Amino acid sequence: MGGPIEYRTNGSMIADRAGVVTPFAMINLQERGSFFVKPTSEVYEGMIVGENSRADDMDVNITKEKKLTNMRAASSDTFENLTPPRDLTLEESLEFAREDECVEVTPDSIRIRKVILDTNERAKANRARAKV
């Protein structure tokens, strides 16, 4: 026995809906943590898309699109300020996952997701766990 196992102190950023990741949403959310997904990749509800800079989990809308208007903006969107996502290996994904998360391995990708995908069901389970 080498002592207690240390877990990560940061929470997860979880996609709250299915869709395609947009650079607009990533720019607005990049101050809150680092990402594991690239723009234009497909996500689903319950999929972990990044690491939160705080200790708690956060549901995010990573598919949010920019409102289109007829007016031109003086400062256009610059996607150069977008930090590149972290590509996690299988070992890093297994190390990152908490007890309520699991790692999906497919021939094309390695993803981390919550065991309970639905946001409302996950909140109910967390409240029931807090009562015990």
φ/ψ of residue 13, rounded to 5: -100, 120
Domains of the chain and any CATH numbers: 12-66+83-131 (2.40.50.250)
Q: What tens digit of pLDDT does each residue of 108-120 get?
A: 999 999 999 998 9
* Least-confidence region, from 21-30, 32-41, 54-63, 66-75: 66-75
Please check whether residue 55 is in contact with residue 9, taking contact to mean a CB–CB distance below 8 angstroms: yes
Read off the tokens for 23. Answer: 């650079």
Residues of the chain with pLDDT > 90, as a percent, come to 60
Q: What tens digit of pLDDT does each residue of 41-70 get?
A: 999 999 999 999 998 899 999 999 988 776
Read off the tokens for 83. Answer: 């930090």
Read off the tokens for 90. Answer: 């299988």
User: Which is nearest to 116 in space by CA: 129, 100, 103, 130?
Assistant: 100
